[in-house]
Chain A
Amino acid sequence: GQQLNQSPQSMFIQEGEDVSMNCTSSSIFNTWLWYKQDPGEGPVLLIALYKAGELTSNGRLTAQFGITRKDSFLNISASIPSDVGIYFCAGQLHSGAGSYQLTFGKGTKLSVIP
């Protein structure tokens, strides 16, 4: 099946710093999604990207769908303590019968030092 390589695996940053994480794949995806998961909760959708080259912002978050359709990045500007959590990228691909499967990266664990 498709594999997504998400990096970094974890990161510790100072409050106020900017953060960047990315996902790469050997496969082409039709859609890239970024989710955040807090402890004890399910992943929450942050940003959805539908076109190659698309750059989308959601508050302090910015994500881009790579031109090759094989990668995506997520930037968080001016981090705050509540940004702590695990960030997942996910690529969506047509899996036949009008259905699209979502493959997840292994996550980037973000810790913010006040």
Chain B
Amino acid sequence: DSGVTQTPKHLITATGQRVTLRCSPRSGDLSVYWYQQSLDQGLQFLIQYYNGEERAKGNILERFSAQQFPDLHSELNLSSLELGDSALYFCASSVDPGINSPLHFGNGTRLTVT
């Protein structure tokens, strides 16, 4: 158990809808990362937060947004969903954004858009 908690485990929704994925980082970790994993693309970095502030952005669509709250949990919001958004979404956390602070991953949320 990595200590990173993601909910829900599975989500099935229709195109055009909006969903929210939730992540609680490991105790003591201040930095949260979101990754998308699809079959043909591997793990793609979406966005990173550190202590409530956005630190880095990857290949995140404009339809997607995220935030990290004062209690350090994070939410990833996906809107106007398309079939191609179906994927596993992972949250990871680390103590800080520094180089000697490896990422620990949750077990992901599997999103299916129908």
List the interface of chain A (C-beta within 8 A of B). Answer: 1, 30-31, 33, 35, 40-45, 48, 50, 88, 90, 92, 94-107
Residues of B within 8 A of A101 (CB): 45, 48, 56, 58
A94 near B99 with CB under 8 A, answer yes
Count contacts on B: residues with CB < 8 A to the other chain: 25
List of A residues within 8 angstroms of B35 by Cβ: 104
**A99 near B50 (CB under 8 angstroms)?**
yes
A40-B107, A42-B90, A103-B45 given; A98·B2 CB < 8 A: no
B 91-102 to A, binary, CB cutoff 8 A, 1 in contact else 0? 010000111101
* In the bound complex, CA of A45 to CA of B35 (Å): 15
Task: Name B44's closest neighbour in chain A (CB-CB).
Answer: A104
The verdict on B83 contacting chain A, using a C-beta distance below 8 Å, is: no
User: Which chain A residues lie closer than 8 Å to B43 at the CB level?
Assistant: 43, 88, 90, 104
B97 and A107: CB pair below 8 A?
A: no
Query: CB distance B102 to A45 under 8 Å?
Result: yes
Please indicate the chain B residues that have their CB under 8 angstroms from the CB of A30 in the complex: 99
Q: CA A105 – CA B44 in complex, angstroms?
A: 10
Q: Is the CB of B108 within 8 A of A31?
A: no
Nearest Cβ on chain A to B45's Cβ, whole angstroms: 6
CA–CA, A4 to B109, complex, Å?
Answer: 25
Nearest-CB distance from A7 to chain B (Å)?
14
Q: List 17 A-B contacts (CB under 8 A).
A: A30-B99, A31-B99, A41-B107, A42-B4, A42-B90, A42-B105, A42-B106, A43-B90, A92-B99, A95-B56, A97-B56, A98-B55, A100-B99, A101-B56, A102-B103, A103-B45, A105-B42
Cα A42 to Cα B107 with chains together (Å): 4
Q: Which 9 pairs from chain A and chain B are nearest by CB? A: A42-B105, A104-B43, A99-B97, A106-B42, A99-B55, A42-B107, A99-B56, A43-B105, A48-B102
